[in-house]
Structure 1
Amino acid sequence: MTEPGGHDGVRRAYDTVAEEYAARLHDELDGKPLDRALLATVLELAGPAGTVADLGCGPGHVAAWLAGRGARTVGVDLSSRMTTVGRARYPGVEFRQGDLLALPADDRSFDAAVALYSIIHLAPAELPRAFAEVRRVLRPGGTFLVSFHVGDEVRHLDSWWGRAVDLDFRFLDPADVARLLGDAGFTVRARTDRAPEPHEAPTHRAYLLARRE
């Protein structure tokens, strides 16, 4: 699926689990010290009055964490149910429904953007378009933090927390992602890998911190 709005299976899956997702994961950053450190780095690079986009924000708990530390945050998610749940939970965050391939934002709108485990639902051929969109909405010199599961497999879910879904999770090679970011006009400034925390799925994770040139 290469056209914006074509990710209907992803949208339906997250609509289906939105309330359960928010209830289970609202405090997940409490158990992720590295994620908090990287997000704090994003805030520092964005500046004290920075505007940060959380792309694939789900119910908005990461965006709310950023907002609680002084950033103006905009959460973007494909799932309308996720954005509805997020607005109810986190009134200090602005939520917009939208696709990573056609972000609902003007050019150069944000000082920074984060995409934590959201590009894993894109087909490999869609990543260049997604990264071009991120570059478009970032100001020159803006920061982009992206994270994903490491590998070359595709894991499929038919059921999630007892609900029927049809959802693929694509694992990615950090070198490939770094190359695509470079092709899109980013400079990768840092790469961090980590093993899963005890409460997480047993997958290796990677984080790339990039600058929009």
Structure 2
Amino acid sequence: MERSRRSIDKGSPGAGFFVSIRTNKPAGSPCMTSSDRPVRLTVNGTAHALRLPASTPLLPVLRNDLGLNGPKFGCGLGECGSCAVLVDDRPARACVLHLGDVAGCRIVTLDGLGTADAMHPVQAAFVEAAGAQCGYCLNGMIMTTVALLEATPDPSEAEIREALRFNLCRCGTHVEIVAAVRLAAARLAAARIAATRPVPSPNVEASP
């Protein structure tokens, strides 16, 4: 499989914790047009067959065609992180990916993590720790944190800062963001411990 030229590789400028997305498209093959087979992918658990060119940028498809407002358009260069999504559980930047790069993949956006009434633990931690001011960077911070805590359940502060290094926050809430990640890690750890505890058997009164 060839690495997509539009993917972000770990270690490249602006990559941070983000990793590359690989594509099954043969090297040198032309992009599909709307008359070819649809591009199939799953977004937030829903399967889609999109009759769009494979060269269509992913971010406007998510926002305009699928109506998902979680990923934001920031720099358009894969540098700021505000457009972050999870592709097969790996963080990726939707502004520099095309549909052909994610054909057959599972995509999760901020919209698919939780709701206002039932937030994902990472979302709840960011709210409680006041990890945002304007909120524009919050999508990237949260999505990257979800991937980080999946890979590293108990990260050090240095690991948190490294993972979020290229998610830009112009409001300067970096201290609160780090606190939110640590709070989320603690909450998720407590939930894992609770899930492993045996459920006590109910007291059964002896029949007379």
- Using the size of structure 1 for normalisation, the TM-score is 0.25
- Using the size of structure 2 for normalisation, the TM-score is 0.26
More strand by share: 1
More helix by share: 1
